[in-house]
Amino acid sequence: MTEFWLISAPGEKTCQQTWDKLMVATTRTNNLSTNHKFNIPDLKVGTLDVLVGLSDELAKLDTFVESVVKKVAQYMADVLEDSRDKVQENLLANGVDLVTYITRFQWDMAKYPIKQSLKNISEIVSKQVTQIDNDLKARASAYNNLKGNLQNLERKNAGSLLTRSLADIVKKDDFVLDSEYLVTMLVVVPKTNYLDWQKTYETLAEMVVPRSTKQLFEDNDSGLFSVTLFRKAVDDFRHKARENKFTVRDFQYNEEEMKADKEEMTRLSTDKKKQFGPLVRWLKVNFSEAFIAWIHIKALRVFVESVLRYGLPVNFQAMLLQPNKKNMKKLREVLNDLYKHLDSSAAVIDASMDIPGLNLSQQEYYPYVYYKIDCNLLDFKV
């Protein structure tokens, strides 16, 4: 279960009492959730106007940062291709798994100095994550181009004999080269028609060299045959071959071109291998940075919302609940019972209700401050 509920409630006589009350209600007798204190430092409160404005800005920033975290995680899965089972072990925050990081959250004073105003801290996060987003677009575009070009070449060298590159199949000896009158053609013949080919190829045009056919290659469906004829008979031969379900491949033996194709494939393959390591390292580092930024935004939102709801002086306990999957509905009921006195109107407001003039931006509203943190960041199950 990778879902957490980050909530806060006002301090009673002490914040410890608020914590103890939650523990009694949710864990002592009924195992509804595993709980952790969520440490938020003494941040600068600022004015009420700033807090109200910041509440909206942080909601948008939260959505943006979460989307970048997911993009980096998803791209990590794309880059690791066949090793998708290794994705989770690369998605770490500060060197530890995500659950450990969240449950032991400590504010990073160096990155986000608490002497700065709340607005400044949110701007630091915004700038940092926008940079990660831009870098990801540039790096992903370069790597995807490389990967796409390589896949196109690989596709050319695979697939059926009707479409694939023939460069790695044929040899110089298979062709009559530098002849003014003669030319060697390559024909794809379905396996079921081999006998027909042997019987008829000499008669498909007037100037086919007798006994000149040779089988060069075979795949699951068909074979590749060479045949030598006079240049002036080529069009006639091609036409008759098609009528008999034989496909003439357009191919001219050119050693330079074939060599260039092979070199290009080697170069792309080497480039991809060279870029893979640094790209995975960059994704690991920046996933960690973006995820850490995201959890700091959650902390900022809890702080701002708690001050707006519970007033000054700052006196609230932030708590992180990991709900027991089977008991989520029951946990929600227990929390509502515990905190409904904080806001009697809140109990009726749910994100699914459409109340004119009230924009909840799809965020459920409860009598206590509540934000969900979902650590399942990938579109597929590992």
Structural domains of the chain ordered from first start: 3-150+270-348+360-374 (1.20.1460.10), 173-252 (3.30.70.100)
Of the candidates 321, 342, 350, 294, which has an alpha carbon nearest to the alpha carbon of residue 111? 294
Query: Are the C-beta atoms of 53 and 254 separated by less than 8 Å?
Result: no
Query: Are the C-beta atoms of 208 and 201 separated by less than 8 Å?
Result: yes
Predicted confidence band of residue 30 (pLDDT cuts 50, 70, 90): confident
Work out the average pLDDT over 19-44: 93
The answer on pLDDT for 382 being more than 50 is: no
In single-letter form, the type of residue at position 374 comes to D
Work out the average pLDDT over 302-313: 95
The answer on pLDDT for 357 being more than 60 is: no
Query: Are the C-beta atoms of 269 and 150 separated by less than 8 Å?
Result: yes
Helix (H) or strand (E) holding 349: none
Place of tokens 């806001």: 343
Mean pLDDT of the chain: 91
Query: Are the C-beta atoms of 69 and 297 separated by less than 8 Å?
Result: no
Q: Give the torsion sign (CA, 287, 288, 290, 294).
A: positive
Q: What are the E-state strand segments in the chain?
A: 3-10, 33-37, 182-190, 214-218, 222-230, 247-249, 316-323, 369-374
* Residues 6 or more apart whose Cβ sits within 8 Å of residue 149: 268
* Residues 6 or more apart whose Cβ sits within 8 Å of residue 232: 207
Mind listing the pLDDT tens digit for each residue in 135-171? 999 999 999 999 999 988 888 888 889 988 888 889 9
Work out the average pLDDT over 37-43: 96
Q: Cβ of 69: how many Cβ atoms within 10 Å?
A: 26
Predicted confidence band of residue 345 (pLDDT cuts 50, 70, 90): low
* Residues 6 or more apart whose Cβ sits within 8 Å of residue 333: none
The confidence score (pLDDT) of residue 355 equals: 46
In single-letter form, the type of residue at position 106 comes to Q
The least confident of 22-26, 161-165, 246-250 is 161-165
Cis, peptide link before residue 313, omega less than 30° from 0 = yes
Q: What are the E-state strand segments in 278-361?
A: 316-323
The DSSP string of 65-85 is: HHHHHHHHHHHHHHHHGGGGG
Q: Which residue has the higher pLDDT, 363 or 186?
A: 186
Mind listing the pLDDT tens digit for each residue in 87-105? 888 999 999 999 999 999 9
Predicted confidence band of residue 256 (pLDDT cuts 50, 70, 90): confident
Tokens of 265: 């494939």
Burial of 284 (0-12, 13-18, 19+ CB in 10 A): middle
Buried b (16+ CB within 10 A) or exposed e, 217-244: bebeebbbbbbbbbeebeeebbebbeee
Query: Are the C-beta atoms of 253 and 177 separated by less than 8 Å?
Result: yes
Work out the average pLDDT over 217-236: 96
- Which pTM value belongs to this model? 0.80
The least confident of 50-64, 71-85, 289-303 is 71-85
